[in-house]
Amino acid sequence: MPANAFTPSVYRVARRRRELAGVVTLELAPLSGAPPAFAPGQFNMLYAFGVGEVAVSMSGAASDTDTFVHTVREVGAVSRALGQLRPGATLGVRGPFGTAWPVAAAAGTDVLIVAGGLGLAPLRPAIRAILAERARYGRVTILFGCRNPGEMLYRSELAQWRRRFDVDVEVTVDHAEPGWRGHVGVVPALIAQAEFDPRETTALVCGPEIMMRFVLSALRERGVADEHIYLSMERNMKCAIGLCGHCQFGPAFICKDGPVMRYDAIAGIFTVREV
Amino acid sequence: MEGLEHILQEHPFFAGFTAEHLRLVAGCARNRRFDAEQYVFREGEPADEFFVIRHGRVALEIAEPGRAPVVFATLGQGEILGASWVVPPYRWMFDARAVALTRVIGIDAACLRGKCEADHDFGYEMMKRFLPVVTRRLHATRLQILDVYGKR
């Protein structure tokens, strides 16, 4: 990474994969050298030249040292420009930034991963790291919710995880289509039925904030302590190093104190509307 | 009957029920089985039973003329199925279809309502269990309607 945290390094799109309508995964390789190491949960600032920068979490395995993998939803001018980049195109990358999922600290506990929609992307590096060292963890459960079966992110990888005997994977959709034989309903509802020891569980949660509020309620109902719940928060990040204040979240900045935050640290402000 | 009481006791809905209350429920209960694609009940039919799901999965759906039925929720092991048994005029509001082999305990609604009326302590205990289930589903439905996953 350049000495100045505001100076992007130039990367090229090594691979591009259309995940869903309006969602692409970009594999980015530096023009020279290797990308810096990152921890699951961290993010980069991706700069579409001449358009602007956005924060996007890593969605590839941290063990992959050749490229950064990012899954981008095209929602604004910058993310649309990023989504249209083809293999060979260049972009700027600053990072990695932010806090990480407690992958190492969760060893020895049951791990409950709750993802909604594109929230599965920042969790994927953590899931891959946990599955790579599966024996270090207790029961591992992945609960994933999305709008409908057609909007299921990483469908083939979810199927691979589901085929394993050492992981419980449940997928639910808000709206079913004819032929869908899985769960229908919101993802927090799956928590009541999931098998884990609430006293010895680390919960990793990522998705729309509204969904996370309902997930928190369901986790607390099962008896999971606030200090064992980790959320990946989203705010409008600009500088990514806690200077500009765009992502201020009460006394914290999401870019440097997050995006992964332990719930007990933010419980006092999580539901404050003005924050 | 003792077998049914034991099964009911193991079900989350009845966790903490007294032996006497369990006996009252079991007196109205019977084991039932539904094969995949078999309908447990259909909209408009008398809601003369409610169901404690032991395992399997049931889809709640609404039929729409000229279209495939719309599934709006699925229920599985550890959950209960059916609220219309407790609300006049005791008619099912939706269709319920087993999507896999499903084993349930069916509880006769008239029998249970009668016992709730006769023993208000028991009736109040049933309602204390039942209302949170209905409320949770209402909240979940609201979240579903919000359609939180898309572009906002």
The pLDDT of residue B152 is 52
The pLDDT of residue A201 is 98
pLDDT of B148 over the 90 cut: no
Asked if A48 and A85 count as a contact pair (C-beta separation under 8 A), the reply is: yes
Which of A93-107, B21-35, B59-73 is least confident?
A: B59-73
The β-bridge partners of B70 are B62
pLDDT band at B150 (very low <50, low <70, confident <90, very high): confident
The β-bridge partners of A71 are A25
Chain B 123-142, residues with CB within 8 Å of chain A CB atoms? 136, 139-140
Closest Cα partner for A33 from A57, A9, A8?
A9
Asked if B84 and B95 count as a contact pair (C-beta separation under 8 A), the reply is: no
- CA–CA gap between residue A196 and residue A193 (Å, rounded): 9
- Cβ within 8 Å, pair B148-A176: no
Smallest CA–CA distance, residue B117 to chain A, in Å, is 31
The predicted-structure confidence for A110-138, as pLDDT tens digits, reads as follows: 999 999 999 999 999 999 999 999 999 99
The pLDDT of residue A268 is 86
pLDDT band at A270 (very low <50, low <70, confident <90, very high): confident
β-bridge pairing A252-253 and B95-98: unpaired
What is B30-110+118-150's CATH topology?
Jelly Rolls (2.60.120)
Q: Which of A75, A192, A211 faces B148 most closely, judged by CB atoms?
A: A211
- CA–CA gap between residue A269 and residue A274 (Å, rounded): 9
Residue of A71, A73, A186, A222 to mutate when probing chain B, most B C-beta within 10 A? A186
pLDDT of A183 over the 60 cut: yes
ipTM of this predicted structure: 0.84
Asked if A200 and A110 count as a contact pair (C-beta separation under 8 A), the reply is: yes
Tell me the count of A-B CB pairs closer than 8 A: 69
Asked if B86 and B68 count as a contact pair (C-beta separation under 8 A), the reply is: no
- Cβ within 8 Å, pair A188-B140: yes
Asked if A260 and A98 count as a contact pair (C-beta separation under 8 A), the reply is: yes
pLDDT band at B2 (very low <50, low <70, confident <90, very high): low
Residues of A in contact with B58 (CB under 8 A): none
The pLDDT of residue A3 is 66
What would the two tokens of residue B114 be?
């009668």
Find the Cα–Cα–Cα–Cα dihedral A169, A151, B66, B35, rounded to 10°.
Answer: -10
Give alpha helix (H) positions in A84-154: 120-132
Q: Please compute the mean of the pLDDT values over residues B39-59 and round it to a whole number.
A: 95
- Cβ within 8 Å, pair A116-B149: yes
- Cβ within 8 Å, pair A186-B78: no
- CA–CA gap between residue A188 and residue A215 (Å, rounded): 5
The β-bridge partners of B111 are none
Asked if A38 and A64 count as a contact pair (C-beta separation under 8 A), the reply is: no
Q: Which of A151, A189, A214 faces B149 most closely, judged by CB atoms?
A: A151
pLDDT of A165 over the 80 cut: yes
- Cβ within 8 Å, pair B148-A183: no
pLDDT of B50 over the 90 cut: yes
Residues of A in contact with B146 (CB under 8 A): 210
- CA–CA gap between residue A110 and residue A140 (Å, rounded): 6
Residues of B in contact with A176 (CB under 8 A): 59, 70-72
pLDDT of B93 over the 70 cut: yes
Higher pLDDT, residue A71 or B66: A71
The pLDDT of residue A1 is 52
Closest-CA residue in chain A for B144? A174
The pLDDT of residue A12 is 97
- Cβ within 8 Å, pair A214-B139: yes
Q: What three-state secondary structure class fits A135?
A: helix
Q: Please compute the mean of the pLDDT values over residues A167-190 and round it to a whole number.
A: 92
Residues of A in contact with B100 (CB under 8 A): 181
The predicted-structure confidence for B20-36, as pLDDT tens digits, reads as follows: 999 999 999 999 999 99
C-alpha to C-alpha distances, B140 to A187, A217, B38, B127, nearest whole angstrom = 9, 12, 26, 20
Task: Name the DSSP letter for residue B71.
Answer: E
Chain B 77-106, residues with CB within 8 Å of chain A CB atoms? 77-79, 99-100
C-alpha to C-alpha distances, B19 to A189, A246, B2, B60, B82, nearest whole angstrom = 29, 59, 11, 32, 24
- Cβ within 8 Å, pair A151-B139: no
Q: Give the whole-number percent of chain B exceeding pLDDT 70.
A: 97
pLDDT of A222 over the 80 cut: yes
Task: Name the DSSP letter for residue A247.
Answer: T
Q: Please compute the mean of the pLDDT values over residues A187-210 and round it to a whole number.
A: 95
pLDDT band at A244 (very low <50, low <70, confident <90, very high): very high
Q: Give the whole-number percent of chain A exceeding pLDDT 70.
A: 99
Q: Please compute the mean of the pLDDT values over residues A192-215 and round it to a whole number.
A: 95
Closest-CA residue in chain A for B152? A75
Q: Give me the residue label for tokens 């006791």.
A: B9
Chain A residues with a Cβ under 8 Å from any Cβ in chain B: 22, 73, 75, 116-118, 145-147, 151, 172, 174-176, 178, 180-186, 188-189, 192-193, 207-208, 210-211, 214
- Cβ within 8 Å, pair B68-A193: no
Domain segments of chain B as ranges: 30-110+118-150
C-alpha to C-alpha distances, B46 to A64, A252, A268, B28, B89, nearest whole angstrom = 60, 57, 48, 17, 8
β-bridge pairing B57-64 and B67-76: antiparallel
pLDDT of B18 over the 90 cut: yes
Q: How many residues does chain A have?
A: 275
Q: What three-state secondary structure class fits A147?
A: coil
The pLDDT of residue A221 is 92
Smallest CA–CA distance, residue B53 to chain A, in Å, is 12
